[in-house]
Amino acid sequence: MDFDQMFSALNISSSALHAERMRMDVVADNLAKANVTAPPGQTPPSRETIIFKAVFDEARRDVPGAEALGGVEVAGIYPSSDPPRMVREPGHPHADENGFVAYPNISSFQEMANLISSSRSYGANLAVIRTFREMMNKTLSIGS
C-alpha cells in the first residue's frame, strides 16, 4: 500500500465533512425562509436542494487494485420548481384579491429530517477521521 492510498479514507471523509456542512447551511437557509411571504404578483423564496457528486482520483484509476474514489463534492444548489403554498389569510398584508397569501414551498418537517440526516452523516465522517487518527497513533507507537 502506497502513502497516497493510506490517506484516501481521510481525504474522502474530509470532503464529505465539507459537503455535509454545506448541506446543513442550505437546510438552515430553507428553514429561515419557510414563512417569508411575497406581495401579490411576486413569488416567495423557493426551497433549495443541494446535489452531491462522487469525485474520482484520476491518478490512481489505472492502478490495479486501487480504489478510484476520491471523495464527494457539491455539484450544485438548485431551487425547487414546486409552486408556492397558498394559504387563505384575508387580513394579511400580502394577501391577494381572493385573500390568499403565497408562502414558500418549504416543509419545516422535511427540512428538519434533512438536518438530522446531515448531522448524522457529519458525525459518521468525524468518527472515521477519529478512528484513522487513533490507528496512526497506534502504528507510530509500535515502533517505539
What would the pLDDT profile of 103-118 be if each residue is shown by its tens digit?
Answer: 999 999 999 999 999 9
* Under 8 Å between Cβ of 55 and 61: no
pLDDT in tens, 11-54: 889 999 999 999 999 999 999 999 999 898 899 999 999 999 98
In this structure, what C-alpha cell is assigned to residue 108?
419545516
SS3 track for 75-137: EEEEECCCCCEEEECCCCCCCCCCCEEEECCCCHHHHHHHHHHHHHHHHHHHHHHHHHHHHHH
Domain span at residue 102 reads 3-142
Q: Give the pTM.
A: 0.82
What is the domain count for the chain?
1
pLDDT tens-digit profile of 61-77? 555 555 567 789 999 99
Spatial separation of the C-alpha atoms in residues 100 and 31, rounded to whole Å: 22
Question: Which residue bears the cell 474520482?
Answer: 56
Pair 125, 20: CB distance under 8 Å: yes
Q: Is the pLDDT at 8 greater than 80, yes or no?
A: no
Distance, in Å, from the CA atom of 86 to the CA atom of 92, rounded to the nearest integer, reads 12
